[in-house]
Amino acid sequence: MTNSLRYSSTSRITALLGCCIFFALLLTACENTQEELNALSKKRIAVEEAKFIESYLSQGGKMKARLTAPVMNRYQTDSPYIEFPNSLHVDFYNDSLKVESQLNAKYGRYRETEQRVFLRDSVTVFNQKKDTLKSKELWWDQNKEIFYTDKDVEIHQPDKIIYGKGLEADQSFNWYLIKEITGQVLVPKGGFGAAAVTDSTASPAVDSTGGRVSPPPLKAPDKGKDSLKII
C-alpha cells in the first residue's frame, strides 16, 4: 500500500512537471510568434525616409505651392500617409508665380487618399498684408484649397490681435472667416512693451460684401456669437 502511494505521488509529480514544461514551451513559442508578428508588421508598414525634400503642388498645369521639410517619412499601409516629424514650410503662389502666403508648422501628416494635411504645433500662416494666423492645430484641404480648424485661433494684424474659435480660410490667406470671436487686443503704435495695452472684445465692422470698413467704437461682445469674415 505504501509503495502504491509513493508510485502514485511520483506519477502525479512527473505529470505536473510535464505540464509545466509543456506550458513553458508553449509560452515561449507564443512570445517568439509575437516577435515574429511584430517584425512582420514592421515589414508590412514599410517606412521610406527622405531628407531635405522639396515638393511642388500643381493644379490645372499651374504651380500652386512648394513644400520643403528636413525629414519626410512615407508609411506604406492600407491607408498610406506621409509624415513630416521635424517641421515643414509651404509657399503658396498666385497665377503669376508670386508668393501670396506662407505656412509653417512643427509637425504635419499628409493623408494621401484624402489629399488633406493635418498640421499641429506652432502652426502659422501669413500673407503679404502682414496678417498672421496662429493655431495649435490646422487642416489643409488641397482639393478645396482651404484651411480650417475648430480650435482656438489668433489673427495678428498690424493694429490688433483677434482671438477666436474655429476658422476657415483660403490657402492664399486672402480671406478668412472666424466662426466665433472671443476677444481682441489693440496694438499700440509703438508695439507692445512700455506702452499701455487697450483690451477690447469688439469685432471690426464688415460691409455686405464681407470687406472691412472702419471699426466701430469699443463695446462688449454679444455673448461671444460674433463671426468675422475678412476679404
For the chain, how many structural domains are there in total?
Answer: 2
User: Does residue 117 share a domain with residue 69?
Assistant: yes
- For residues 129 and 21, state if they share a domain: no
Q: Look at residue 191 in the predicted model and tell me its pLDDT.
A: 64
What's the CA gap between 150 and 36, in Å, rounded?
42
Phi, psi of 184 (to 5 degrees): -155, 140
> Which helix (DSSP H) or strand (DSSP E) does residue 133 occupy?
strand 132-141
The verdict on 53 and 40 lying in the same domain is no
37 and 77 both lie in a single domain: no
**Tens digit of each residue's pLDDT, the chain (231 residues):** 334 333 344 445 445 545 554 445 444 444 556 665 555 555 556 788 999 999 998 887 889 999 999 999 999 888 889 999 999 999 999 988 999 999 999 999 999 889 999 999 999 999 998 899 999 999 999 999 999 999 999 999 999 999 999 999 999 999 999 999 999 998 786 666 543 333 444 444 333 334 443 334 434 344 444 455 554
72 with 37, same domain? no
Cell of 144: 478645396
Phi then psi for residue 22, to 5 deg, are -60, -45
- Is there a single domain that holds both residue 78 and residue 102? yes
Q: Are residues 34 and 80 in the same domain?
A: no
Residues 53, 32, single domain; the answer is no
pTM over 0.75: no
Q: What pLDDT, on the 0 to 100 scale, is given for residue 134?
A: 97
What's residue 162's pLDDT?
95
Q: Given the C-alpha cell 476658422, which residue does it identify?
A: 167
Q: Are residues 4 and 83 in the same domain?
A: no
Same domain, yes or no, for 96 and 18? no
Q: What is the pLDDT of residue 213?
A: 36
Structural domain that includes position 135: 46-230
